[in-house]
Chains A and B, each alone.
Chain A
């Protein structure tokens, strides 16, 4: 009996030792012996896609501020044209970092404040509701005239009155040139300042977060790998929903919502959507460096699946490129092409949500699960 209890104590101690190393091992590099080096993959993502992505965003916002200042100083069709280039560059850059909604970006709620998509849990079937890529022009007008507002407010009208939704309206919307005055200029500058503050914060937070990110090679909920696989699926859900499908009327029995496309007033929705998918493919392949999720799948003997995913990415990009911008017009005139892109997005979404998520064994919820 005595020996038995000491054996049990031994086992308990060993288990405790293993599980406590387990917690510390978050800092150790993943062992690449006989398999795939996940630490190298995460390092590549941090150093070549994520951190440079936020630095690029900082530069684009700075350039946008210059163009915006010139436009405010002398509002005209030609300064507006110059501004549009800078705006488009900045918004395209945002699409390149859109999938990194975890860690610092999630803490700062960058996606809500810069480019609110309305989320997925909203029904998109009634006019006038703030859903998808809406712009809250009423709140914007109130904010401009009153001059007092709280851009940190956690409400949908606050999200829809700042960041890209508000800027693209103030720069390219009705009366963008004619209504320019000091109050409007002040609001624009407040929005730009907020975008800069948030982006700077995320960019600088990544310096510290990098080691946490590359040190965690788990695949559970909230782990970097789990986050990236889930973000791939989430971004495709956004494409299928608020970016393409819902404005096309997929959730409203064919009723088209042409003003609810992303960056409606700039008229660059298709370009943004295309850049979004291209960036997702870059994330998936780690820019073809041999260190990406695609290579992880190959290491897991899923080459055929990987090939299908790569092909489908290209199909989706081509299907989107076939749609002429502005999307708000194409929704009515090129319905077949938009519908085709929608179908191809759904195929890619299926591959990522079922096959890739299954093969990489990532979890999507925190709840206990004893294996389906």
Chain B
């Protein structure tokens, strides 16, 4: 124990070249700019944030609302500006802080747009606020050369590596379930839809291919961070990163930018020397011998160290919180989000809601399309917390149109990982009377 404490103490004062932070800042900033422009260009700002009448919100964030009128478009314009500021290192800390707040705000508007890599981006943006990534090769330093630094505490680079490692490792752990390993699901369902691919297309009906992909994916996710950490294995490991994520992008184009986010962010594992060499290719970049400029110091080093430890512990605990819930994780999805569970299941549902007036006994079959977008309906139909939010919204809506005591019942069928669809929630329970909470929902039928 004493050894560990000493090692931690020594680690606190370990310093490294700032180069990895500089190139990460630039790469992340540019990637975010592309990501935001792509989202905007595809018209999703309107279809996802402006047009829907109702938004599913996160527990505790029910007060979050999209901006009115042109507000969302203005916000996206601001986000693009902020990514430029981050990339060139102009007013870096303010830009990083605002980017984190605005991006996270956008993600909090509607749960049905949740993607693991959006969560990852929020986390990295948060980390970047506290890192001195603008202390070299930035407009900030150009304006005020006294701010220039060559070396930074080692943890400032390692915290990003840690975050990457968390993503991979927990994604790997999540794959260690019987559906994935012994049934090759959901890949066995998805791959026959990929027979159009050249060369490999004809193999897509073979179940051994699904098994191979499943096992390779699990092993890759579990071990790749460790191979990226070791300098001897790093070049080969990064080749695997490229092959794996490019393959994912080709097979599953619907996954969006996730593969590219991982390809770009994994470069943080490279040594300072490698980063320095790449940066030297850029105009105006100057290499100085280490120690020629002062080290970056945090004003409150002990406090900083404590906060970093808290962050690390949280990142380890949050993906494991599903252990606090009884029942089947994929069925109940309690503790499913924010846990790096990517492409893990094929789940679809059909929902038939009925609103019953307690006074008159009148029953109304709800037409979901009148209230929700296709994306919202799809996401809601398999996720209990969203089903409950929707039921509450329906009760409010029918209250507003004159019903005194609306009761909401749902007949929902869900199919999971190639199995036949089954009744998902107790159709005799008045969902309007069930409270929204982080506790286990008893009205979801057991998975068996």
A contact face: mostly helix, strand, loop, or mixed: loop
Interface status of A217 (Cβ within 8 A of chain B): yes
Minimum CB–CB distance for A14 against chain B, Å: 8
Stretch of B20-28, B141-149, B234-242, B434-442 at the chain-chain interface: B234-242
9 further A-B pairs in the complex, CB-CB below 8 A; given A25-B196, A34-B205, A354-B415: A11-B239, A12-B242, A25-B201, A123-B367, A123-B370, A252-B364, A368-B256, A368-B257, A370-B117
Q: Are B195 and A370 in contact (CB under 8 A)?
A: no
Per the CB 8 Å criterion, the residue count for chain B at the interface is 72
**Could you tell me if B421 and A300 are in contact, using CB atoms closer than 8 angstroms?**
no
B198 touches A (CB below 8 Å): yes
Nearest CB in chain A: distance from B364 CB, A:
5
- Shortest B201–chain A CB gap in Å is 5
Within the complex, which residue of B362, B382, B415 is in contact with A254, where a contact is CB–CB below 8 Å? B362
In the complex, A33 has a CB within 8 A of chain B = yes
Q: Is A143 an interface residue (CB 8 A)?
A: no
User: Interface digits, A325-361 against B, CB 8 Å rule (1 contact, 0 not)?
Assistant: 0000000000000000000001001110111011111
The answer, yes or no, to whether A145 is at the interface (CB within 8 Å) is: no
**Stretch in B58-66, B221-229, B347-355 with 4+ CB within 8 Å of A:** B347-355
* Chain B residues numbered 166-215 whose CB sits less than 8 Å from any CB in chain A: 186, 189-190, 192-199, 201-206
Taking CB atoms and an 8 Å cut-off, the chain A residues in 105-125 that contact chain B are 119-125
Q: Are B246 and A367 in contact (CB under 8 A)?
A: no
Interface residue from B195, B345, B374, B415 paired with A35 (Cβ < 8 Å) = B195
A-facing mask of B335-352, CB < 8 A → 1, else 0? Answer: 000000111111111101
Q: Mark B375-412, 1 if CB is under 8 A from A, else 0.
A: 10011001000000000000000000000000000000
B348 to chain A, nearest CB (A): 5
A104 at the interface (CB under 8 A from B): no
CA distance A11 to B241 in the complex (A): 11
Task: State whether A359 touches B117 (Cβ < 8 A).
Answer: no
Interface residue ranges of A239-292 to B (CB < 8 Å): 241, 245-246, 250-254
Question: Which chain A positions have C-beta within 8 A of B115?
Answer: 368-370
Residues of A within 8 A of B186 (CB): 371
A361 touches B192 (CB 8 A): yes
Contact B196 A365 (CB under 8 A): no
A172 within 8 A of B: no
Closest-by-CB residue of B relative to A12 is: B242
| Inter-subunit contact B345/A372 (CB<8 Å) | yes
Residues of A in contact with B, size category: 35 or more
When C-beta atoms are compared, the residue in chain A nearest to B278 turns out to be: A5
- Knowing A368-B254, A368-B255, the reply to whether A22 touches B197 (Cβ < 8 A) is yes
Complex contacts, B345 vs chain A, CB 8 Å: 371-372
Residues of B99-121 contacting chain A, CB below 8 A: 113, 115-117
Asked whether A8 lies within 8 Å of B242 as measured between CB atoms, the reply is: yes
Interface of A toward B, CB cutoff 8 Å: 1, 4, 7-8, 11-12, 15, 18-19, 21-22, 25-26, 28, 30-31, 33-36, 38, 119-125, 216-220, 225, 237, 241, 245-246, 250-254, 299-300, 304-305, 346, 349-351, 353-355, 357-372
CA distance A15 to B247 in the complex (A): 8
A123 to B400, CA, bound (A): 15
Q: How distant is B180 from chain A, measured CB to nearest CB, in Å?
A: 11
Residue of A nearest to B343 (CB): A371
Name B373's closest neighbour in chain A (CB-CB): A365
Complex CA gap A108/B179 in Å reads 44
Asked if B198 and A22 make an inter-chain contact with CB atoms under 8 angstroms apart, the answer reads: yes
